[in-house]
Amino acid sequence: MAMGLLIRLVTGAVALWIATLLVDGIRVTAESVPGKIGTLVLVAAAFGLINAVLRPIIKTVGCGFYVLTLGLVALAVNGLLFLLTSWIAGQFDVPFHVDDFWPDAVLGALIVGVVGWLLNLFVPDGKDD
């Protein structure tokens, strides 16, 4: 179980790193490579925790909007959760920043989601045993 959590954390950090490479408005401003890696892992953990806690609540409360927009509101929700992660990182002086909601947060959350999903297809997380 701990190995699966570690694998998910690493794949999340890699997905986040790819988002920082592809979206100019998402930055990790740590000076050293170990500092950048630590920041990516910390932000991946925070983003995962925020998603685990808030997403079910938002889906339950906003169920009608999900149905009405055929799920497209999920892009906005993911972008807002990504922006919230950036704000929380700023409160704790973590060198991670997302500039704007559109396109940075929405596109970044979309990239993190797609890359994370692709990585999880190819990297076993221990749940298949």
- Residue-wise pLDDT for 60-77, tens only, equals 999 999 999 999 999 999
Pairing of strands 26-28, 96-98: antiparallel
pLDDT at 48 over 80: yes
- Check residue 70 and give left, alpha or beta (phi > 0: left; psi -120 to 50: alpha): left
Helices (H) and strands (E) in the chain, counts: 5, 2
> Looking at beta carbons, which pairs linking 48-54 to residues 24 or more positions away fall under 8 Å?
48/8, 48/9, 48/12, 50/81, 50/84, 50/85, 50/88, 51/81, 54/81, 54/84
pLDDT at 86: 97
- Residue-wise pLDDT for 72-92, tens only, equals 999 999 999 999 999 999 999
